[in-house]
Amino acid sequence: MLGNTLDQLGEAIVSGRYLPGASLPPEPMLCEQYGISRTVVREAVKSLVAKGLLITGPKLGTRVLPSDDWNWFDPDVVQWQSKIGLTREFLRDLQELRRVVEPAGVRIAADRATAADIAEIETAYAGMKHAIEQGGDYVLHDLRFHQGLLRACHNRMVVQMSKALGALLRTSFEISTTRPDGPASSLPLHRAVLDAVIARDPKKAERASLVLIDGAQEDIEQVLASRRKLPSLRAPALPLKAARSRALVR
């Protein structure tokens, strides 16, 4: 109940239904609107205050803060923005953050990855390859591949940041799958990153990661330039089709 209410209020704020500086409706009204108790409302508000979306105080009430005050490293905040629509500015901000964080994380992973980490990333890679050859959910396995790499660096802050990057990664991968040769052409780039991590070569792993990320950046920039509608994260990613996938395999 709390999680659902938190998501509904969070999305309402991020979507602009409650504008910066505006007061949140009184507790009784929120209770009636969402069919919840005052306790749930208070817990949801407390969480939104912690995420930087709201401020409360005597004679102030509960007011919405400007987006610059929101905690953009909070996965919930990123997810709410993703659900209502990724703006071009937001997408570019995330892409720039990814280029700073991911290569550094992969470089560290080349030193710290355990056998279990490597096995997990190999499984994700095998899932990507299978989706290309036989059809299936390529995006899910691609996401697991990249998040597995960041977990393998065994740095708690990087792992937390990877959660905020999840929306960007999924959007980026969905954009890539719309290109006729997107998944098949990027698969060898993924292999190069993984092989460098396995070889314990931090510099090579970092360079391979940058090549992969810059390719994704080109895909995103092409979509932004075309003014095409960005993928929605409300629905599951579309799977690759086997007939089309087999034609792409090199």
Q: What pLDDT is attached to residue 74? A: 84
**pLDDT band, residue 229 (cuts 50/70/90):** low
Residues with Cβ within 8 Å of residue 65, at least 6 apart in sequence: 20, 52, 53, 54, 55
How many angstroms separate the CA atoms of 245 and 234, rounded? 25
Residue-wise pLDDT tens digits, 13-31: 999 999 999 999 999 999 9
Residue where one domain finishes, among candidates 54, 69, 84: 69
Q: What pLDDT is attached to residue 159? A: 86
52 lies in the same domain as 100: no
Distances (CA, A) of 108 to 163, 212, 228: 18, 17, 36
**pLDDT band, residue 250 (cuts 50/70/90):** very low
Q: What pLDDT is attached to residue 237? A: 63
Residue-wise pLDDT tens digits, 44-86: 999 999 999 999 998 889 999 999 999 988 878 888 887 777 7
The domain that holds 109 is classified in CATH as 1.20.120.530
Distances (CA, A) of 135 to 81, 92, 114, 167: 30, 30, 30, 23
109 lies in the same domain as 181: yes
* DSSP state, residue 25: P
26 lies in the same domain as 115: no
Q: What pLDDT is attached to residue 248? A: 42
CB 183 within 8 A of CB 240: yes
18 lies in the same domain as 90: no
Which residue range forms the structural domain that includes residue 199?
75-248
Residue-wise pLDDT tens digits, 125-177: 999 999 989 988 888 899 999 999 999 999 998 888 887 777 667 777 777 67
How many angstroms separate the CA atoms of 166 and 212, rounded? 16
What percentage of the chain exceeds 90 in pLDDT?
54
Alpha helices in the chain (DSSP H): 2-14, 27-34, 38-50, 75-84, 88-112, 115-134, 138-151, 156-178, 182-198, 202-226, 242-248
Work out how many domains the chain is built from and give that number: 2
111 lies in the same domain as 32: no
CB 246 within 8 A of CB 133: yes
Give the pTM. Answer: 0.75
Residue where one domain finishes, among candidates 38, 53, 69: 69
Q: Is the pLDDT of residue 244 over 70?
A: no
118 lies in the same domain as 242: yes
